[in-house]
Structure 1
Amino acid sequence: MNTYSSTIRKGRKFDQVLEGARSVFLVDGFEGASVDQIAKVAGVSKATLYSYFPDKRLLFMEVAAGECRRQSQAAVDMINSCGHPREVLDQAARHLLAFLTSTFGRQMFRICVAESERFPDLGRQFYASGPMVMKGELIRYFESAVARGELVIDDMQLAADQFGELCKADLWPRLIFGVMDGVTQQDIDRVVTGAVEMFMARYGA
């Protein structure tokens, strides 16, 4: 069986292709983006593009992995290790939900799942580039908050996973399964407030 990493060939214009693809995918999404447009924006020929990425899905997922790294780094930079848990968790939840509920985020998840059998390491790369980074940063924050006496947590790994799931409550499943088309600020506020309150009720000092 092919793997994701062995199918992609890197070369001199690899980053150029990725940046062009990112610009197009973020505007048009996966279905709306054409290879012709991506090649044009990237300033390369279709032959060059296909030499790096023989499948548009592979190109999308490489862009998605990079976007995950961007989002994760932004979240890491945003977290104030000395901030109060309610403030930090509120910010982290809003950042996570903004990405998960975006069109790009939803498309990325669907394609990752759809291609998991053909490219089994694709999902692992996606997880390592985004969710695992965010989880690690939350755990580091929890450790400092516990040391200050603001949180009481025995299992840091489980607490980080639980908070992530609380942030997905209601909105994310309905978006993924097409029950709703988009979210409002009121929707986000409701889920974030509920996630923070639930987490603090369980782990607050």
Structure 2
Amino acid sequence: MTDAVSTKATTSRGRNRAERILAAASEVFLEQGYGAATMSEIGRRAGGSMQTLYRLFGNKEGLFRAIMEDKGAQVYGQMEDAAIFEKPPEQALYELGVRLNELILNPENLATHRIVMLEGPNHPELQRIFHDNGPGRARRVLSRYFEAECRRGRLNLKDVDAAAGQFLDMVKGAYFLPAILGRLGASSEIDIPSSVRQAVDIFLHGAACRESGS
């Protein structure tokens, strides 16, 4: 059971109903896009009464928000695990980078990104909801981690928020854009661990050669 569903219904039957509605809504959004999707089609696929659908989620925006809250919990929930704050940067950033790449390259998550990119200009609420539960959530969590590491003396960052954004862009840069454009090579050509290790190494240690004796 997801957090978004648990806030919408309190009984087991109600939670199952909410989960069916969200599954149907996700299916319709991915097939038809946000603008073309209708509450009636979502209700038809979910089964049950339209009254329950509106009572639980209100409208399409409410449905999309609940879906993004669920996806945000799946993708970024691990980053909010208190245990991650105890790991040194080399290990923590590597683990987070691998997890992030594996999840953002999931076909369903890529399809959601495409919907927001294509329809966001006409539906600003999509951009806001997506950012708050996706990239914005990751950046906030990573900023807190960097701030804690600076207090420990293991990192020296002037702007932890900017550094969080820069690292996230670096660590997903190898595969995310080609995947969004449908130009990602065969799975045998994808090496997420090696890509993430290089991103972490460059972020923490830089890429310039050091002069001997320095």
TM bucket by the smaller chain? 0.7 to 0.9
Structure with larger Rg: 2
Q: Distance in 1 between matches of 2:191 and 2:27?
A: 24
Among 101, 106, 127, the residue aligned to 1:123: 127
Q: Distance in 2 between matches of 1:116 and 1:166?
A: 24
Alignment of 1:120-199 (within 5 A): 120-180=124-184, 183=187, 186-199=190-203
Q: Distance in 1 between matches of 2:100 and 2:77?
A: 12
- Aligned to 2:136, what secondary structure does the other structure show? helix
Deviations 1:157-192 (A, max 9, x none): 111011101112221111001112664595211221
Q: Which runs of 5+ in 2 are unaligned?
A: 1-7, 207-214
Q: Distance in 2 between matches of 1:78 and 1:43?
A: 39
CA contact (8 A) 1:30 1:107 kept: yes
Among 77, 80, 89, the residue aligned to 2:81: 77
Among 100, 103, 120, the residue aligned to 2:104: 100
Instruction: State the aligned residue count.
Output: 192
- Report the RMSD for the aligned CA atoms in angstroms: 3.8
Q: Which runs of 5+ in 1 are unaligned?
A: 1-9
Higher RCO (CA-CA < 8 Å; seq separation 6+): 1
CA contact (8 A) 2:94 2:196 kept: yes
Residues 58 and 121 from structure 1, CA distance in 2 versus in 1: closer, same or farther, beyond 3 angstroms? same
Q: Give 1:168's aligned amino acid.
A: K
Q: Give 1:72's aligned amino acid.
A: Y
Residues 15 and 184 from structure 1, CA distance in 2 versus in 1: closer, same or farther, beyond 3 angstroms? farther
Q: Equivalent pairs: percent with the same residue?
A: 25
TM-score w.r.t. structure 2 length? 0.70
In structure 2, what is the equivalent of residue 3 of structure 1?
none
TM-score w.r.t. structure 1 length? 0.73
Deviations 1:50-74 (A, max 9, x none): 896876x984564134311343223
Q: Give 2:173's aligned amino acid.
A: A
In structure 1, what is the equivalent of residue 95 of structure 2?
91
Q: Distance in 1 between matches of 2:58 and 2:201?
A: 45
CA contact (8 A) 2:93 2:200 kept: yes
Q: Distance in 1 between matches of 2:27 and 2:65?
A: 16
Q: Distance in 2 between matches of 1:180 and 1:110?
A: 15
CA contact (8 A) 1:99 1:105 kept: yes
Q: Give 2:171's aligned amino acid.
A: C
Residues 97 and 114 from structure 1, CA distance in 2 versus in 1: closer, same or farther, beyond 3 angstroms? same
- Aligned to 2:85, what secondary structure does the other structure show? coil
